[in-house]
Structure 1
């Protein structure tokens, strides 16, 4: 049975098993970096939230020996559980005041999300985009959220700038920053992060900046005074290596670094992006430089004396 035959058979099996209070929708959901999720959404008539389940994942399970009946039982069993909100269901959430304290921000690649950015409010930040997410639930390892769309922001009558102000207050509160040595978190969160430690790496210690959920944690570079406090602690400028949308690596800049050292850092980012992360987790191929004296974050260029191609004052 090929993929399309499987999808048709699965939907038919679900239709035969579910009662009329539950509808089945096949959706093509645009995710980060242009990744499209082919999914099924099961929605109870009385519910605003619907499970959105990857059909590719289900087909992989089918090829490994799971039966259609088993997969249907799995989907039905989670129909009434809290799962990520289907994008279309948010159009019914008209009360802005109810959700204003749950609006947070994320950082994504601007270049790889041109189509997505046409559909959502966003703020430019260097080569990246600040987008906004409504947190439905965040407890332990469970995180239920949905990206704020143009349709939703229009129904709320709020601008991207107004969302940014709210997210600036909410995000550090909901997702406190975590800053630790790389080796102390490598086994816990980032099994691929050892690839950053190049054999010619000129620094003995790298640090991971993320949030306490280790999810969309690269946005911690936006937290008010976070980079300033770290730079003051080190007494130096900071080099920031984007590992993924979930975290960045921090290196204290040093007068002892040579041009080849900076080449190692920049090339390591590109190599890891090509070889070690999922396409939807890519953030940037650029290294960033935080200048302590001016409280300024900029794209690092290998041209000295501050002639970077772009910069942004930290928020």
Structure 2
């Protein structure tokens, strides 16, 4: 059974389980960096909102021997557990889509690769930033299971009657307080996520006198609390303060759309080798839809400006 046949089969099974109250239709979407996804759009009849379930990974599970009945049962539970709250339909959605002031506290931005998303960028307002692009979305709701969001396109901008410059300025101002920048050393992050046995192993490899891991002593993570934390590059003075503290420029390694890594630049760094490292990690460790760039950036502490230090290959 190929993927198309699999999706059609799951669609029929879910439609039978959900009954006539729901509409279940096939859905395809090209996500960040031209990542194609296929699945089903499920909507309760008579409501404005629905949900999309992507089936690409589920199809892989099927190919690895998972039974279709169990797959359909799990998807059914997922749909039932993710019912759209009544307060997010009808008048509420109409207000945020048609009224900019109502939507403004819920607007956030994210960084994506510009060249890898040329087609998508034709449909939305965006700002170029280095070899990246800043796009905007309305965060309708957020929970431990994920978030519901609406990408802001030209149609919504026409309804709001504002220009891109105002959208950008208002969004950055809002994000500076709602999702402020966070800077944390990589060793502190490792301490926080490792269990005691893993910490013991690292301590055997070697720690410094203060009891901190020296696996990557100069590497720092910059992000914010949104799921697209790399957008923190666009605002705040954390980078400037950190560069002054270290008395040097900062190299910026694009880890993913979720965060970037900072490396103090003492003048001895080989940019080409760093770029090769970023490219290798992108190819082996980062999913296609979370890739940001293969380039290396640099923050000049005197000019207080970020530029491309080493241009990487296209994604």
What's the TM-score, normalizing by structure 1?
0.80
1:126 aligns with 2:130: yes
Shift of 1:65: 4.4
Query: Could you tell me which of 160, 167, 171 is aligned with 1:167?
Result: 171
Question: 1:133-148, aligned counterparts within 5 Å?
Answer: 133-139=137-143, 142-148=146-152
How far, CA to CA, are the matches of 2:122 and 2:94 in structure 1?
17
Change (3 A) 1:100 1:6: same
Q: Is the 8 A contact 1:13 1:68 kept in 2?
A: no
1:212 aligns with 2:194: no
How far, CA to CA, are the matches of 1:91 and 1:69 in structure 2?
38
Over aligned residues, Cα RMSD in angstroms?
2.8
How far, CA to CA, are the matches of 2:118 and 2:94 in structure 1?
22
User: What SS does the corresponding residue of 2:277 show, helix, strand or coil?
Assistant: helix
How far, CA to CA, are the matches of 2:167 and 2:190 in structure 1?
33
Identify, as 1 or 2, the structure richer in helix: 2
How far, CA to CA, are the matches of 1:269 and 1:230 in structure 2?
22
How far, CA to CA, are the matches of 2:94 and 2:60 in structure 1?
32
How far, CA to CA, are the matches of 2:143 and 2:14 in structure 1?
31
Specify every segment of 5 or more residues in structure 2 that has no aligned partner in the other structure, as ranges: 195-215
Q: Is the 8 A contact 1:91 1:151 kept in 2?
A: no
Q: Is the 8 A contact 1:101 1:166 kept in 2?
A: no
Comparing 141-150 and 230-239, the one that deviates more: 141-150
How far, CA to CA, are the matches of 1:249 and 1:111 in structure 2?
22
How far, CA to CA, are the matches of 2:189 and 2:42 in structure 1?
37
Change (3 A) 1:209 1:151: same
Work out the number of aligned pairs and report it: 283
Q: Is the 8 A contact 2:13 2:72 kept in 1?
A: yes
Shift of 1:141: 6.2
User: What SS does the corresponding residue of 1:134 show, helix, strand or coil?
Assistant: strand
Partner residue in 2 for 1:282: 291
Shift of 1:46: 4.1
Shift of 1:112: 0.4
How far, CA to CA, are the matches of 1:45 and 1:4 in structure 2?
25
Change (3 A) 1:52 1:106: same
Render the CA deviation track for 1:49-94: whole Å, top value 9, x for unaligned: 32211121222333344443433333333335257x9xxxx78932
Partner residue in 1 for 2:258: 246
Q: Is the 8 A contact 1:50 1:79 kept in 2?
A: no
How far, CA to CA, are the matches of 1:150 and 1:133 in structure 2?
12
How far, CA to CA, are the matches of 2:217 and 2:310 in structure 1?
23
Specify every segment of 5 or more residues in structure 1 that has no aligned partner in the other structure, as ranges: 191-202, 303-315
Partner residue in 2 for 1:311: none
Shift of 1:283: 0.9
Render the CA deviation track for 1:144-182: whole Å, top value 9, x for unaligned: 323212222222223222221121022233323221111
Q: Is the 8 A contact 1:218 1:248 kept in 2?
A: yes
Render the CA deviation track for 1:113-137: whole Å, top value 9, x for unaligned: 0011011110111111000011112
How far, CA to CA, are the matches of 1:42 and 1:209 in structure 2?
37
What's the TM-score, normalizing by structure 2?
0.80
